[in-house]
Chain A
Amino acid sequence: AQSVTQPDIHITVSEGASLELRCNYSYGATPYLFWYVQSPGQGLQLLLKYFSGDTLVQGIKGFEAEFKRSQSSFNLRKPSVHWSDAAEYFCAVGAADMRFGAGTRLTVKP
């Protein structure tokens, strides 16, 4: 069965610092992988997705993620965090029956 693990419940970084959010997945075949962001009181917004091809994918808001099959990982990165990036981040795997991780809450210190 497919599943997603986000090991970090909460991460705090300083504004301008780099960011990496971890995601590990379990899936029977080549996975469809996604990162979503949720601001307080809002729905989820798609940041980026991976289906095939180049394992480094670029998304909106300056985010990127790298698919590593050998590690079953799809970590999200950003070189320089802005205060507006504070939100909850969800990794997801699957197709129509998508499964979401528990989320990582990002706090940005001034």
Chain B
Amino acid sequence: DAGVIQSPRHEVTEMGQEVTLRCKPISGHNSLFWYRQTMMRGLELLIYFNNNVPIDDSGMPEDRFSAKMPNASFSTLKIQPSEPRDSAVYFCASSPRTASYEQYFGPGTRLTVT
């Protein structure tokens, strides 16, 4: 089992550029979550999908953020345009079909916007 895969692991970009973060959940898991972690705000849920459908995006900071899940094995989180305050570690997590709600986290993408 490869676990949740995220790419890239590190991203440095300039303000105003588009950033795309990628996630491959664990095979067979039907829920996928995107989180943001910062020192100031801790771990925040941005959005989660169930069976590829966005269920709750109330944590998405603003319209500059968007997320998609075109199929069960791939999701993206896009920031356009990026701003320095978006600098954070972004985690993807997936959860199995059983109603256990336990989440398995990827290693994260450290985003730096200069």
Q: List A residues at the B interface (Cβ < 8 Å).
A: 32, 34, 36, 41-46, 49, 51, 90, 94-103
A34–B100 alpha-carbon span in the complex (Å)? 11
Q: A95 contacts B108, CB within 8 Å?
A: no
- Proximity bits, B72-96, A CB within 8 Å = 1, else 0: 0000000000000000000101010
B56 to A97, Cβ gap below 8 A?
yes
**What residues of chain B have their CB less than 8 Å away from a CB belonging to chain A?**
4, 31, 33, 42-43, 45, 48, 50, 55-56, 91, 93, 95, 100-108
Q: Which residues of B lie under 8 Å from residue A36 when comparing CB positions?
A: 105
Given contact pairs A96-B56, A97-B56, A34 touches B42 in the complex (Cβ within 8 A): no
B105 with A43: CB separation less than 8 A: yes
In the complex, A96→B51 CA distance in Å? 13
A sample of 25 cross-chain residue pairs with beta-carbon separation below 8 angstroms, ordered by A number, consists of A32-B101, A34-B102, A41-B107, A42-B107, A43-B91, A43-B93, A43-B105, A44-B91, A44-B105, A46-B103, A46-B104, A49-B100, A49-B102, A51-B100, A95-B101, A96-B55, A96-B56, A96-B95, A96-B101, A97-B48, A97-B56, A98-B33, A98-B45, A98-B101, A101-B42
For the complex, give the distance between the alpha carbons of A95 and B48 in Å: 12
* B33: min CB distance to chain A, Å: 8
The CA-CA distance from A96 to B50 in the complex, in Å, is 9
In angstroms, how far is the closest chain B Cβ from the Cβ of A91?
11
User: Please, which residue of chain B has its CB at the minimum distance from the CB of A102?
Assistant: B42
B5 vs chain A, min Cβ distance (A) = 11
- How many Å from the CB of A17 to the closest CB on chain B? 27
Residues in A neighbouring B106, C-beta threshold 8 A: 43
